[in-house]
Structure 1
Amino acid sequence: MPEALHGLHIVVTRPAHQAAGFRQALEQAGASVLLLPVVEICPLDEQATISLMLAQLSHYDTAVFISANAVEYGLQAMDAAQRAVLHTLTLGAIGKQTAKVLQQHGFTAHWVPARGFTSEDFLALPQTQHLSGRRILIFRGQGGRELLADTLRERGAQVTYLDVYQRVCPQIDASHLKYLHEQRQLDIITITSSEGLLNLLTLLNNPDWIKTVPLLVGSQRMLATARTVGFTGTICIADNPGDEAMLQALIHWAQEFQA
């Protein structure tokens, strides 16, 4: 394990504030790591709107957090009284990592998929099947799929979205990737969101060469996105985009790569 990734050059594209743990794990396994955050997480400008909606938090009986970022930015926007109200609600988390971040802040997620991290996994929970009369507030980043809210409404709930952060394509220079590729110092790129993959292409002006570089993605949906935009090389799939699952998938790929 300490040398499982020895000699490999791996690009980590997580947002900067979430990349440290993954980078450390890869370096401990012997890899050379390049950080290239292709998604930037930022607060929204509509703080007055967020505050107004949070003032109505007691009108809900359930709060669902889409992601760890939704937890962090949602809690940052709350005052002490609103956090106290949150403790009285049924809390849902889309995935164990999100539930873990809630727990780190002193909150317990009651609705969490045992496996998986998608809206579909959350919607498969027994607790989300019959929701007549439920008033649900969903904390999320700006934009995203409507599947979660639409399905919860079909099951009887009153659902409101609260956007508490935004994801943007950062203004960074990624041109050095081509040099690394030419020098054979670019073995695999790790991707943890479809949006990040699309941002990578935008930052590089969508060249053909990048589409031959091996990828590690965190879901089947990311795989589908990669193939749709023209990636033809090896694409490995982790069980989820969390650090541990991505690390294990990389080790498995490295064993085949170096065989």
Structure 2
Amino acid sequence: MSKVLNGARVLVTRPEHQAENLSRLIEQRGGIAVRFPTLEIVSRDDDRIKSTLENLDGFQWVVFISANAVNFALKTNSGKIPRTKSVRFAAVGQATAQAMKMAGLPVDLVPEYGYNSEALLEMPQLQQVEGQNCLIVRGEGGREQLATTLRSRGAEVDYLEVYKRIIPRMDSSPVVELLAQHRLDVITVTSAEALQNLSLMLGEKNNKLLSLIPLVVVSDRIRCLAADMGFNRITVTDSPIDTAILETVITCVTGE
């Protein structure tokens, strides 16, 4: 396998439990993965989670927003989510669908193209939902577009928030030192909150140096936020999967 990254240092900001695959891919192609998680994903302590997951018969649709939503729902509910014939299960994207399959859940609806709420809302199955009950399984907070649009189409929508995001307690000095020495070549970011936390964790005085580094993001929404924060060398990947992120990193480093 070609070591095309040739020692380039790539900042990987994924949560610690999700960073290893991307880091390994970077290292296989000759790069140095600088692991610096800017998000930590933790379970929410809410008795309603277990009771809701054990009584899904009142919903026509259960929508999982992310692989984390699937995994933390399972964690809260003793590793299983009861299947029921009356419910259809939807995934926002392919990574979420894969997590559902691994959990033994059916995937009744997943966008063929795209990996966000907009792509899911374009599916024919969600156009006529008047009078239907929908449950959105997600993390604490987050975007409202999916629920807002489904409600505008006449659906009743409830949230089940199974995890929350916090800023990790990390020693930022090694990354600050790399910044000061101009030895970071690319930054990878997979969520808006991760980008905001990166800025906070490194401190305002380092933001100018941070903004000079090529930034690889996985959506136009993150690109817009990054531009507002002062980044001017931003590239959006074709998809949020690790291999697509890697290919975009390679392009940033080699210019090819």
What interval of TM-score do these two structures reach, taking the shorter chain for normalisation?
over 0.9
Q: Decide which of 87, 90, 98 is 1:89's aligned counterpart.
A: 87
The code of the aligned residue for 1:2 comes to S
Where 1:42 maps in the other structure, the secondary structure is strand
Distance 1:109 1:171, change over 3 A: same
Question: How much has 1:91 moved relative to structure 2?
Answer: 0.6
Does the CA contact (< 8 Å) of 2:187 and 2:216 recur in 1? yes
Question: How much has 1:158 moved relative to structure 2?
Answer: 1.4
**What is the distance in 1 between the residues matched to 2:143 and 2:172?**
28
TM-score, normalising length from structure 2?
A: 0.93
* Structure 2 partner of 1:8: 8
Kindly report the root-mean-square deviation, in angstroms, between the aligned alpha carbons of the 2 structures: 1.7
Q: Decide which of 171, 185, 210 is 1:173's aligned counterpart.
A: 171
Question: How do 1:119-130 and structure 2 match up within 5 A?
Answer: 119-130=117-128
2:6 matched to 1:18?
Answer: no
Question: How much has 1:200 moved relative to structure 2?
Answer: 0.4
The answer for unaligned runs of 5 or more in structure 1 is none
Q: Decide which of 74, 98, 101 is 2:99's aligned counterpart.
A: 101
Question: How much has 1:79 moved relative to structure 2?
Answer: 5.0
**What is the distance in 2 between the residues matched to 1:67 and 1:58?**
22
Does the CA contact (< 8 Å) of 2:62 and 2:90 recur in 1? yes
Where 2:81 maps in the other structure, the secondary structure is helix
Question: How much has 1:203 moved relative to structure 2?
Answer: 0.5
**What is the distance in 1 between the residues matched to 2:165 and 2:141?**
9
* Structure 2 partner of 1:241: 240
Question: How much has 1:103 moved relative to structure 2?
Answer: 0.9
* Structure 1 partner of 2:184: 186
Question: How do 1:1-259 and structure 2 match up within 5 A?
Answer: 2-46=2-46, 48-78=47-77, 83-86=81-84, 89-206=87-204, 207=206, 208-232=208-232, 234-256=233-255
**What is the distance in 2 between the residues matched to 1:11 and 1:79?**
35
How big is each residue's C-alpha offset from its partner over 1:139-170, in whole Å with a ceiling of 9 and x where there is no partner? 00000111101111111211110000001111
Distance 1:201 1:86, change over 3 A: farther
- Identify the range of structure 1 (172-181 vs 116-125) with the bigger mean alpha-carbon deviation: 172-181
**What is the distance in 2 between the residues matched to 1:217 and 1:134?**
35
Does the CA contact (< 8 Å) of 1:119 and 1:147 recur in 2? yes
Among all aligned residue pairs of Structure 1 and Structure 2, give the percentage whose two residues are the same amino acid.
38
How big is each residue's C-alpha offset from its partner over 1:197-221, in whole Å with a ceiling of 9 and x where there is no partner? 0000110122322111111111111
**What is the distance in 2 between the residues matched to 1:15 and 1:86?**
32
The code of the aligned residue for 1:216 comes to V
The code of the aligned residue for 1:210 comes to L
Runs of 4+ in 1 over 4 A off after TM superposition: none
Question: How much has 1:87 moved relative to structure 2?
Answer: 6.6
- Identify the range of structure 1 (185-194 vs 202-211) with the bigger mean alpha-carbon deviation: 202-211
Question: How much has 1:114 moved relative to structure 2?
Answer: 0.8
The answer for unaligned runs of 5 or more in structure 2 is none
Does the CA contact (< 8 Å) of 2:8 and 2:31 recur in 1? yes
The code of the aligned residue for 1:236 comes to T
Question: How much has 1:185 moved relative to structure 2?
Answer: 2.1
Question: How much has 1:13 moved relative to structure 2?
Answer: 0.5
**What is the distance in 2 between the residues matched to 1:133 and 1:122?**
19
TM-score, normalising length from structure 1?
A: 0.92
**What is the distance in 2 between the residues matched to 1:230 and 1:87?**
50
**What is the distance in 2 between the residues matched to 1:10 and 1:195?**
19
